[in-house]
Amino acid sequence: MKAAKEYRNGEVYFRIAFPDSKRHYPKIESFVFVGKNLSDEDTGDAWYFQFADGFARHGSILATDKGDRRVVILPEKDLPDMLDLGRLVAELEAAALRRRTAEP
């Protein structure tokens, strides 16, 4: 298995989903990477991404116990779901192309 992408603490990453089968209309969620293997309960490597709105309002889950504590915890196999800005732009451009070239 190839090495996992390096994520930088405090950086914003995106998860994109397409609710339609033709992948024309993206839905985007924003996250902030807060660390790897943060819990003693992690049974393998685990990457922690805090929802960006909670991070913006209350700060990192590592710095406070107040506010929105929602996180997404991903194993290595699911890391490709978290996109940096460049990959997000590429996905959005691909969706726009699919829409433009779709049969009416």
Q: For CA atoms 32, 28, 70, 36, give the dihedral sign.
A: negative
The answer to whether 24 and 18 have CB atoms below 8 angstroms apart is yes
| C-alpha torsion angle, residues 48, 52, 53, 56 (rounded to 10) | 100
pLDDT tens-digit map of 45-72 = 999 999 999 999 999 999 877 766 789 9
Q: Residue 6 falls within a domain, yes or no?
A: no
The answer to whether 44 and 37 have CB atoms below 8 angstroms apart is no
The DSSP 8-state label assigned to residue 10 in this structure reads: T
Q: Residue 102 falls within a domain, yes or no?
A: no
Residue 1's identity, in one-letter code, is M
pLDDT tens-digit map of 66-102 = 766 789 999 999 999 999 999 999 999 999 999 999 8
Please report the pLDDT score of residue 67 as a whole number.
67
* Number of compact structural domains in the chain: 1
The rounded percent of the chain whose pLDDT value lies above 90 is: 74
Cα radius of gyration rounded to whole Å, the chain: 16
Please report the pLDDT score of residue 42 as a whole number.
87
Structural domain range at position 76: 12-93
